[in-house]
Copies of this chain bind each other. A is one copy, B any other.
């Protein structure tokens, strides 16, 4: 491939933005063309993020004047609602869109509007948008123009349950319980008291227990795979680590499942997936096993004496849970090797 992809990033100053930069700066087929920021227009990117000194020479552009239409693909690492407002213009210019916010994740606009408190302004574009989990929708992604990049929690829960759902192994008489834990970077690079070091270090809490925006997203995707109605209990927790997400999922198995070799079924389902790793039976993943990488690792543990299976899933919330999956989607969109630019070895210790 002779010509490099021209990349635009809208909202480059948050954690998903800088994570896109970390991955794309070494991507052999990508060229950073435009990075926008409302607050920091004019500032060299490497001045805000000195980790990128010597690697990124771009400055942040003003989003109102940035030339995004000359890009091949634009990533939105923005608050919800921004991608919607620019989608039409970009599509008209034949630019692919990968939105890391929620604008193109929920096909049901009423649900979107209920949870995100804003009208959905482009239902027609949404209709053709693809939910960007390559392990489920790779063929659709290849042909898509707009990708709704999944939320971090949904990625773990959906991929943790996919083999069971596809094979019809869950007893839906009991709800699926997803007890999920996230590092603090998931809250974003916003100045807030609750995520100060002195508030969230050496401390943990559940939050969003009354309802969290990822609930409808997970529920919609699981229901689609199940072809059925199901109950979902989803409780997120904030853990004092920078990155990392671990989801512990409790699910009731049906009669078929109890007779099956679930470990083998999971291994078979993900055998050819470069970024999903099923651990050998008896092993449990830790979040550092994927720190900084696009890997998602899964372990299964039947709960003896019950009909329940416990599934433990880990990922780096900023990589497979956000920017890494977005790059994986970009690679698929443009017919590149899916692992291109994503061959990062996890940082351990």
Contacts and interface: CB of A to CB of B under 8 A. Distances in A.
Interface of A: 15, 18, 22-23, 25-26, 49-55, 174-175, 177, 179, 181, 183-185, 187, 189-193, 195-207, 209-211, 231, 233, 235, 237, 239-244, 246, 248, 250, 277, 279, 282-293, 295, 297, 299, 301, 303-306, 308, 310, 312, 318, 343-349
A329 to B, nearest CB: 20
Select the residue from A231, A237, A349 with max chain B CB neighbours within 10 A.
A349
B205 A286 contact: yes
Contact of A345 (B51, B190, B242): B51
A230 to B, nearest CB: 11
B206 A235 contact: no
Nearest to A316: B347
Given A301-B210, A345-B51, A348-B51, A200 B202 contact: no
A282 B47 CA distance: 12
Contact of A287 (B183, B197, B204, B207): B204
Given A198-B242, A277-B53, A347-B22, A306 B203 contact: no
A51 B291 contact: yes
